[in-house]
Amino acid sequence: MKVTPIRSQDTYQSHLARAAVLMLRSDQGSRDELEVLQAVIAQWERKQIDLTPPSPVEAIRFRMLAQDLKPRDLEPYIGSRARVSEILSGTRPLSIDMIRALHSHLGIPAESLIASAPPHRQTRRTQPSKLALDKLRSFGLMRPREAFDNFIARAMGPNCSPALLRKTRTDRTNVKTDLAALDAWCAAVMLRAEAVSITPRKSVRETLARELAVLSTKPDGPARVAPTLAKHGIVYVALEHLPGTYLDGAALRRRSDGAPVIALTLRHDRVDNFWFTLLHEFCHIARHLDADTPFILDDLEVSTSDDIEEEADRFAQDNLIPPDVWQEHVSPDLSSEDVIQIARQAQVHPAIVAGRWQREHGDYRRFSKMLGRGDVRKLHQA
């Protein structure tokens, strides 16, 4: 099938329908077509959502992500470590000298650095975009003719308000996020979570993370996640992200009984991404959820200097591949056979080894056929 640009809602819907068919196929031709379709669909969705220009801090963080920079790398242009922290947290404005240095040495557009930051990170709409609302209704969770506000109240509680939802931790959320759509997705997850039966537990056992990692070696590993977590008192929900949310996953607690919930969007249908995101969110429910942080939402493509996000990244990485195994065997000249051997020793799917090597070496062509593209969603739909 020839993939055409989307210029109308009808074409958008037909492309979505085609993508749903391709997700159930495993041949390379279908996977290639799906990858192109996803790119075209994402481009259309971005155009349908009103975006605000980035603040100076967002412009800096975008360049840090693009160039793999750490906060300490900004010290030559901004000043001391403390001053860099103040700039990135938004508590200190950029000086003229800082703007000049960041523009000259890092190539950040001067107009982005000079722009006035909005009073909040993003503007919260009263309702999601039409695309997001249509997608939300397609989940079958909204009642006929139910108003969006009523849906949020039913899912999150009668006392829920945008002020409450703003307590959501969004440091690792894309700056382009439609926050009303984010609220909607969280509410939909909550309703799905309430329907899941689990065995209650008083606490989360962190060693379960390694047991989950070993599940990746099973042909139906992703399908085993939900029942495995349920036995340990954890709710698992897989729910597609809404247009304008750019999410990989979330950690939260169920409203009715406080049971921990891991929710994944599966937006990147790859074996390596699935298991890394799963263990990242597992770390959050085990260590980071509390009364002041009822939700933690993650776009794992966004870089962060947040302590709990870095901790969750390390936790996922080390539970998937033990540090001693990685340090002993990894090298820039790794072969496909080496990937398989490391995976056997670590007791994980080879895609996990291949994906980590790609990230650490910045080479996304090598081992690209080993990432298990198209192998996760079909197991959730079975």
d(CA 125, CA 332): 47
Selected residue with higher pLDDT from 11 and 260: 260
63 and 21 share one domain: no
CB-based burial label for 7 (10 Å; 0-12, 13-18, 19+)? exposed
Average pLDDT on 301-319 reads: 87
139 and 287 share one domain: yes
Question: Which residues, at least 6 apart from 124, have a Cβ–Cβ distance to it below 8 Å?
Answer: 162, 166, 179, 180
Task: Look at 6-15, 38-47, 75-84 and tell me which has the smallest mean pLDDT.
Answer: 38-47
In Å, how far are 37, 111, 236 from 232, measured between CA atoms? 38, 51, 11
Strands 260-264 and 235-238: parallel
- Position 174 scores a pLDDT of 62
d(CA 149, CA 314): 38
142 and 65 share one domain: no
178 and 299 share one domain: yes
- Nearest CA-CA partner of 374 in 31, 16, 21: 31
Instruction: Tally the domains of the chain.
Output: 3
Average pLDDT on 260-265 reads: 97
Task: Please say if the pLDDT value at position 46 is more than 80.
Answer: no
CB-based burial label for 341 (10 Å; 0-12, 13-18, 19+)? middle
* 35 φ/ψ angles, rounded to the nearest 5 degrees: -65, -40
- Position 368 scores a pLDDT of 92
28 and 160 share one domain: no
Task: Report yes or no on 379 lying in a domain.
Answer: no
Task: Look at 2-11, 70-79, 127-136, 166-175 and tell me which has the smallest mean pLDDT.
Answer: 166-175
Q: What CATH number did the domain enclosing 67 receive?
A: 1.10.260.40
Task: Report yes or no on 332 lying in a domain.
Answer: no
96 and 196 share one domain: no
Most confident of 77-86, 137-146, 153-162, 286-295: 137-146
Amino acid letter, residue 375: D
Q: What is the mean pLDDT of the chain?
A: 86
162 and 224 share one domain: yes
Average pLDDT on 263-290 reads: 95
- Position 169 scores a pLDDT of 54
Task: Please say if the pLDDT value at position 5 is more than 90.
Answer: no
pLDDT digits (tens, 9 = 90+) for 171-218: 566 656 788 899 999 999 999 999 999 988 989 999 999 999 999 999
Look at residues 261, 292, 319 and tell me which one is the last residue of a structural domain: 319
DSSP 315-379: HHHHHHS-HHHHHHH--TT--HHHHHHHHHHHTS-HHHHHHHHHHHHT-SSTTGGGS-TTSSHHH
Task: Report yes or no on 371 lying in a domain.
Answer: no
96 and 145 share one domain: no
Average pLDDT on 111-135 reads: 70
Task: Report yes or no on 183 lying in a domain.
Answer: yes
237 and 190 share one domain: yes
- Position 355 scores a pLDDT of 95
d(CA 66, CA 60): 10
Task: Report yes or no on 135 lying in a domain.
Answer: yes
30 and 108 share one domain: no
Task: Report yes or no on 68 lying in a domain.
Answer: yes
- Split at pLDDT 50, 70, 90, the class of 166 is very low
Selected residue with higher pLDDT from 219 and 307: 219
- Nearest CA-CA partner of 14 in 2, 24, 25, 26: 2
- Position 95 scores a pLDDT of 83
d(CA 335, CA 268): 24
- Split at pLDDT 50, 70, 90, the class of 112 is confident
In percent, the amount of the chain with pLDDT more than 90 equals 47
Task: Please say if the pLDDT value at position 49 is more than 70.
Answer: no
Task: Report yes or no on 341 lying in a domain.
Answer: no
Task: Please say if the pLDDT value at position 168 is more than 70.
Answer: no
- Split at pLDDT 50, 70, 90, the class of 85 is confident
- Position 311 scores a pLDDT of 94
In Å, how far are 45, 105, 133 from 180, measured between CA atoms? 15, 37, 10
d(CA 27, CA 266): 19
The alpha-helical segments, DSSP class H, found in the chain are 9-22, 28-47, 56-67, 75-78, 81-89, 96-106, 110-114, 130-138, 148-156, 162-165, 179-194, 208-215, 221-231, 271-287, 307-320, 323-329, 336-346, 350-361, 377-381
Look at residues 319, 352, 367 and tell me which one is the last residue of a structural domain: 319
29 and 83 share one domain: no
Task: Please say if the pLDDT value at position 123 is more than 90.
Answer: no
Average pLDDT on 46-68 reads: 76
Q: Answer for the pair 284, 312: CB distance below 8 angstroms, yes or no.
A: yes
Task: Please say if the pLDDT value at position 113 is more than 60.
Answer: yes
142 and 251 share one domain: yes
pLDDT digits (tens, 9 = 90+) for 21-34: 776 677 888 878 87
Task: Report yes or no on 360 lying in a domain.
Answer: no
Task: Look at 44-58, 123-137, 339-353 and tell me which has the smallest mean pLDDT.
Answer: 44-58
- Position 55 scores a pLDDT of 81
In Å, how far are 32, 229, 266, 379 from 16, measured between CA atoms? 15, 31, 15, 19
d(CA 90, CA 78): 13
Look at residues 65, 88, 114 and tell me which one is the last residue of a structural domain: 114
Selected residue with higher pLDDT from 181 and 12: 181
Give residue 106's domain range: 56-114
- Nearest CA-CA partner of 208 in 265, 276, 279, 262: 279
Average pLDDT on 67-81 reads: 87
